[in-house]
Structure 1
């Protein structure tokens, strides 16, 4: 019996293993529920041309679909920022089993935010799209979320009261939408939030709900918030609040034209920034039950002030009379208006002064101290009035305030970053880069029209500009999300460092723009497109790429990297080298673009670089050095050699990633003739192919320390050209 039992269990184990094997063969590595969810998302997006993505079925984790991150058999992330996506998000995002990150920012996705969202999500980034509708109440279910960004969309309605369970949330950005209404009470539960962006909306009400949050950055500019700013918020290191009608934060000045004591009582507060009088805190908003008491106390306060002023004037008058008598001159009588009471004090407006009175012999400057100044101006010997317009703001009345926007007005244009004094100092240090104003760039690009659009990427949109002298430039306009992360000073430091990169094989920085919160670069214009287009899209240019011209192109790119890695001090690592960043000038010389752009790159670009086939193996551990650039250069050489894309989802699974397919064949002379671009097979010798392949194999080695420096690669390519001119 024991033998039979063991035999039964042995057979059962075999059956289970076979079942598992068959399941893997039939369904692949990715959980089928995640496959269905990503197929549904792909359909909602309108089937964009994403490498690896399939209309139905497929194995995203095993096949390495672009922007798809996996752990074991589950999809854990979708990162497709700046991928030119359209369509909508659909209603099946909640079907993903274990996804923790969705980043589809800076695309053209429309429609509403799905009400069904993955409960496991931690990072949800939908900024820079065309989303409409309101923020769904289902946010309340996302109890693991740490980062939420919905900025720069067309969202409307109120912010839902759905933050009760979102205590892990650290960063939230709802800026640049059309949100309205007050802040929901449940925002007080965001006990981990450090960064909150609410600017450029139509939000109303008070900010009290935010006062106990551990905020480091808070931006509420250009809204309709009112009421006093809670004192706790004033202590936030990065707090921006301009462009709001905070309307109960000042004690108003008394009326300046009424002669009665009752007119000295304050009117309802005017709109303006908070100013304290006599060191007292600004008044709190009063409820209807306490209005009469407040008005009475204010009347008493201002009547006291009026009485004090009258006594002061009388004392000055007495002193004046005594001084006149001592000089044996006829005494000057004080006007009856002053002698009667505070009700007859006539306060002159500045517009009522007469300049010719200043030259009158009877002009009497009675007193001037550090804290107060009172002048008496005689209209005649028997008639004197008191000019209160020069009373010091700290002792009597608030100083004049600049006009503030009314609650119906909304200031959208942010303070101009250039020219501020600090920016001007920085600008003067950037000698080789010209400053362009927004107005001039709008003129040169025809208001950034579609016909001048060159392309868009993960960081910026590029437009062609033509200057009045006929010179052309490529204007790279940073997207809003990227711009917001950079202060004016850091941006100018980047401009300064990029302007110093001067090499014939690098696309040079010609100028920049820093105005109204916009950050733009002006680069040299290369009119013949990119290497990617020449190899894979433009048949006319492809025909011009002979074997010798391709070797020369490789040498030009190698020299650009040699300059960045070994000439520049400190060394510059490109970090985003691929065939779309290699441009052709009017003589079809290769010029490397985006040099010095690495500080602007988001962390997600590493995933994109790997998904496109240019990422070195060490990028999986987050390590990127100049040797990683060498690997990407090796992939570009492979493209020149084979005419294939670095990643091509249309090819069989084993040939989709160019390096994986080619690496084992680079030392096989017979295989090389079959790998080379079909248009070159009769135009190059096997010895030349072998030398080129040897350089490639050194560049794409898995261990970064074994890859040669770019100076050695330059010398190897020079030897090839010298032997085969």
Structure 2
């Protein structure tokens, strides 16, 4: 009996030990706890979440509502249909193990957070009241399998963010207010089976969807034009009503375009032979030659289908050639061809420009820099059925004079070495930024040079650049851009007062990454490559989501003529003359911007002691010293930053601001380093009470 009693006691101790071991084992990882604590305090109605706490706790061990775990890591967050409002907090990116994230059918408002669980496979934020744009951070979530953002109030364009999402099977953005053309990167969705775009305001064609393995496609109630490709008509579950499709037979595919095959439908596809392709190519080439020959005998209004007719602007000095299509009648889609500019004073096509243009028979040979551009909000000014082919539009001097109150000093946004920028305000509430070019900078015939500059920058399209909206060429030369109410990074870092909300560390890293992507686009995607030559914090504008937009690109020829030091404090040491400027000089300037983000200091500050007036000279020797880096951090952060992320950021800066250009990395390596920084960064915030 006594023996049995001891045996039972032993079994009891073993059981207790097992329980205690289990509890220890199930203790949730600290970064996951911290993220859920922040989320809980950010919600307006947290009482609906049983078990949740604002500080500490054990979500896995204590079974917090809607939370599932594997070991000590949170793997699922399902808070659907709980009437939640407020925000999700700022630490979601530290939830590295979360694969399922469902906050559908709640009352969330405002922007979708840029920071989301980075390795999620299933995200459902549908049936809320989200506004603003779809965040570009989705572009890095290459494990994503399912994304549902339907039934919100999302607006602006569907960003070109799908290049890495090859695993995405279902995408639903229906019932929002999204606009613009479909991005070319949708072609990368090689696993996409279901795509719902209905009840938005999308424009342009749906040709980009033709090669996808879709089984369920709904594009109803948009503003799509052109034709539904034959490949899409084979989809069993296809809904296309409520659009402005073209009547009549669809045109043949562009010459040189291989037949599109769905893997499950290979036997149903007819293969176009090489002879047929060659025949089409020669036929189109013959048509072009005939059009060129006949154009001299025609008026400018009817001279060619290359010209997008804008009957409301007969006094413009030049007109962009159609870059979206040669003609609805010709059937040749050159959505990536860029031909040039044609003077309205001439009645013939610029044959030299045509000769320099990419071959019209091979679409893939065209520079990636010339992408499918989304219509700007003033596209209706063009008054043409082919308005999608024009990427910029003319503004009259009188119109801009009226919108800027005669270029009043109260509308002046900034004054630089190449001209002044004014805020133009319209009666319907639209606001634009108007850059007046200093006339002394225009050499060799102002209209010709200005047209070349507009032709070049109008082709550029990237989520992190400020895109050109239009231009004015008489009597003054002006470039018109979108206006960003949040102003520039310089304003945020250096002009904010005690009542302003400082940029968080996460936001600073995101701004650095977005700006680096913009420079990478100019350096390595555009052909020929573009140097910026004036990268500085005042040329990095911030949109409503605080995403960076690089401005003043494509104007390097003007900067060469100013004879001034480009961006005092940002110039690399080798830049003693314009010809010495290289891509590595841009990298140096970008490094100085990163230093501003790190320290909150201006590149040159005469109010500091002599040893600290030059930011680069003061900071560079300390960038590899952990203690020194912590002391130079912007005080506005109040110590709220992950130390590891801070030190890695400082290491990247040190690479950029080296005095020897050859040792600075190309910008593509900076992008990769910043992406790794975002992915690795433990978002456990550190409170510094010192």
Q: TM-score, normalised to structure 1's length?
A: 0.40
Q: TM-score, normalised to structure 2's length?
A: 0.42
